[in-house]
Copies of this chain bind each other. A is one copy, B any other.
Amino acid sequence: MMKPELEKIDSYPFYVEPFHVDFTGRMFLGILGNHLLNAAGNHSQRRGWGIGALNETKHTWVLSRLSIELTDMPRQYEHGTVETWVESVIRLFTNRNFAILRADGTPYGYARSIWAMIDIETRRPCDLLSLYDGDILNYVVDEGEKPCPIAPHGRFRFRDAKLVRTIDTHYSDVDINGHINSIKYIEHILNLFPIESFRDQRLQRFEIAYKTESRLGDRLAFYMQVVDDNETDVEVRREADGEVVCQAKVRFAIYNNR
């Protein structure tokens, strides 16, 4: 049953801490990603289908896609808000959107994500429409009511990607499930780019598709493929077996608001 006191859209406040900004004074994208995931976690938690509730029923959320598009990046000492809502639910996946807002309500940008729910033991996806009697459907906010004015998730086509770096994974990369954490992939991927990319340009859009879990001790191989002057695709593979762990699209733009 829908909890009548809860709105469909949640707000998650954030503050841009000194250690959360890059050398230009702008928030690291990984930190922003962390705020988005916290906002998503709170939203589902408060409605009864968060990780805590799900542990009792042996289910958990798994992030499959995340696409973030920004006209500006929050700067040191700024206060902002992440709004999040469920755009749609199909049997095995839900689309969750985000607005990343300044203190005055104007947008820094938006994000889209796709999540599945899996059974912790079998690791197989669950039917979202039947879980908790399909309660999640009570919270769907359709596109007309709350738009998310950025392009849908793109497609990846790797043809001539070149190996650019191989890294060992360490203690700080791993989350409570023993997997390399979703945010650390974002950090490692952005670390492939030369500093000039961040100095003379701004990150306009970042997409990531999570394919397979990797674990502590896995060596990860990073392959890059230049799409055009502004866009680069990155594929991360487990070195041992070549399995694709995640894929990302990184698009920079010349600064329009230095």
- The answer to whether A17 and B34 have CB atoms under 8 Å apart is yes
A198 to chain B: which residues have CB within 8 Å? 171
A163 to B48, CA, bound (A): 51
Q: Which of A159-207 contact B (CB under 8 A)?
A: 170-172, 174-178, 181-183, 187, 190-191, 193, 195, 198
A17 to B12, CA, bound (A): 13
| A171 in contact with B34 given A176-B76, A195-B216, A216-B195 (CB within 8 Å) | no
**A172 to B, closest residue via Cβ:** B187
Contact of A191 among B17, B51, B171, B181 (CB under 8 A): B171
A182 to chain B: which residues have CB within 8 Å? 19
- The answer to whether A18 and B30 have CB atoms under 8 Å apart is no
A195 to B38, CA, bound (A): 26
- The answer to whether B176 and A21 have CB atoms under 8 Å apart is yes
Q: Which of A34-70 contact B (CB under 8 A)?
A: 34, 37-38, 41, 51-52
- The answer to whether A183 and B19 have CB atoms under 8 Å apart is yes
| A22 in contact with B174 given A17-B34, A17-B38, A34-B17 (CB within 8 Å) | yes
A187 to B51, CA, bound (A): 27
Separation in Å of the A182 CB from the closest CB of chain B?
A: 8
Q: How many copies does the complex hold?
A: 2
A191 to B174, CA, bound (A): 11
A176 to chain B: which residues have CB within 8 Å? 18, 21-25, 76
A190 to B171, CA, bound (A): 7
A139 to chain B: which residues have CB within 8 Å? none
- Residue among A28, A77, A170, A191 with most chain B CB within 10 A: A170
A18 to B182, CA, bound (A): 11
20 contacts between A and B (CB under 8 A): A17-B38, A18-B38, A18-B41, A18-B51, A18-B176, A19-B34, A19-B37, A19-B38, A19-B182, A21-B175, A22-B174, A22-B176, A23-B171, A23-B175, A23-B216, A170-B191, A171-B195, A171-B198, A172-B190, A195-B216
Contacts A18-B38, A19-B37 known; list 7 others, CB within 8 Å. Answer: A18-B41, A18-B175, A18-B176, A21-B176, A22-B172, A22-B174, A171-B191
